Amino acid sequence: MLRFCRFLRQNGLQVTPAHTSAALRAVNRVDVGDRTDFHLGLRAVLVSGQQELAPFDELFRIFWEGSMAVQEQDLLAPNLEQAAARADESTAAFSPLEVLSLKDFAEVAESAERAALEQALRRLARKLATRRSRRLRSTRRGGRIDLRRTVRRSLRLGGTAMELARRKREVRKTKLVLLCDVSRSMDQYSRFLLQFVYAFQRALGRVESLVFGTRLTRVTLFFRHATIEQALDRMSHEVLDWSGGTRIGLSLEAFNRDYRDMVDSSTTVVVLSDGLDTGDVELLSEQMRLLRRRARRVIWLNPLLGAPEQPPLARGMRAALPHVDVYAPGHNLASLEALARRL
């Protein structure tokens, strides 16, 4: 599957590690002995738009069947011979990070792997921090020529364009509130999720970070002037319910009461939690409803969604889901990359 996804990417399809992760999950839910099921299952998660349907079908045939008859259709000519040759290679030079990006955080034990993931999270945050929006603003240099403003200026000088007006896309700063579960059930994931929170806050400025277990603690300032190791060490000592129980409803009630000014119609709220709540689920449902009413959208990342065998939905998660816009896995780098693209 890794070779196939690499093969698609080499031939122009927009296949990321998140797509590869989705493909691996998809083939566990279809009959891989049925060619049609296998083909359509992969196409559903690996094709990013209408324009990729025909190329995907031909590349699928080349890779899995070795068929060269499709050259006559000329859909990808003159690259079909090259594509088929790449598909027949006996080895594939995968980036170690490509493989690591699909590894569940709970299975990462080696310090080298941990360091590589943390570096990748920082790059991911920087990429989002410098993302250009569709809105254009005036600029003195660079960018594209603003023909309308150039013409308007020239009219003041009798129709002679003495200076070209320019515009360029502005950097979009996403406004985020990140709420991370640091209870005992999240121990295996908390470090990487907090690294993700840390990287976002350091790269974007408009990020508020809070952690919760049985109570809520704002940690924005913990991340502002410290390394991730220093921040985690301070949190483990100062956050009283670190690696303890979980009362999501109470924590959200405190957030809606004490930090309601953090959220408005332009704010995306991201909750990172497995939803294993020991508190009042009716309170959780009500507080999620209040939060959703004020936010632009609410995204919930649940590490348990990445498990090969899906556990029963926790009662806290069932209470929260009606008020969630996006419910997605948060168990590996690929899932966090998918969140960054969504943001």
pLDDT digits (tens, 9 = 90+) for 296-332: 999 999 999 888 777 888 999 999 999 999 999 999 9
Q: What percent of the chain has pLDDT over 70?
A: 80
Lowest average pLDDT, out of 84-98, 137-151, 263-277, 287-301, goes to: 84-98
Q: Which pLDDT belongs to residue 252?
A: 97
Which tokens in the block code for residue 242?
Answer: 């670190």
Which residue segments constitute the domains of the chain, with CATH numbers given? Answer: 2-94 (no CATH), 133-171 (no CATH), 176-342 (3.40.50.410)
pLDDT category, 67, cuts 50, 70, 90? Answer: very low
The pLDDT of residue 44 is above 90 = yes
Q: How far is CA 45 from CA 15, 16, 58, 76, in A?
A: 10, 11, 16, 21
Neighbours of 42 (CB within 10 A): 23
The pLDDT of residue 110 is above 60 = yes
Q: Which pLDDT belongs to residue 91?
A: 38
